[in-house]
Amino acid sequence: WNLDGPDAGKEIRKFEGHKGRICTAIFVEEGTRLITGSSDNKFKVWDVETGKCLETSKDYDDIFTLALSPNGKQFAMASDDKYVRVFNSKTRKEVWKVKLEKEGEVVVWSPDAQLVAIADGDQYLHILDAKDGKEVRKITVAGSRHTPVIFSTDGKILISGGDQHLHLHDVETGKRITPGLGNPVAPNGFDILAVGANGRKVYSSVGDDLHVWDLDRKETSKVIEENR
What are the φ/ψ torsions at residue 210 (nearest 5 degrees)?
A: -110, 125
What tens digit of pLDDT does each residue of 84-128 get?
999 999 999 999 999 988 888 789 999 999 999 998 877 889 999
What tens digit of pLDDT does each residue of 57-81 get?
999 989 999 999 999 999 999 999 9
Q: In angstroms, rounded to a whole number, what is the distance separating the alpha carbons of residues 1 and 10?
A: 6
Give me the chain's average pLDDT, please: 86
The answer to whether 122 touches 101, Cβ cutoff 8 Å, is yes
What's the pLDDT band for 191 if we cut at 50, 70, 90? confident
Q: In angstroms, rounded to a whole number, what is the distance separating the alpha carbons of residues 155 and 109?
A: 9
Q: 3-state SS of the chain: helix, strand, coil percent to 5?
A: 0, 45, 50
What tens digit of pLDDT does each residue of 207-228 get?
778 888 887 777 777 777 765 5
> 68: which residues sit within 8 A by CB, 6+ positions away?
26, 27, 28, 74, 75, 89, 109
pTM: 0.84
Q: Check residue 187 and give its pLDDT.
A: 64
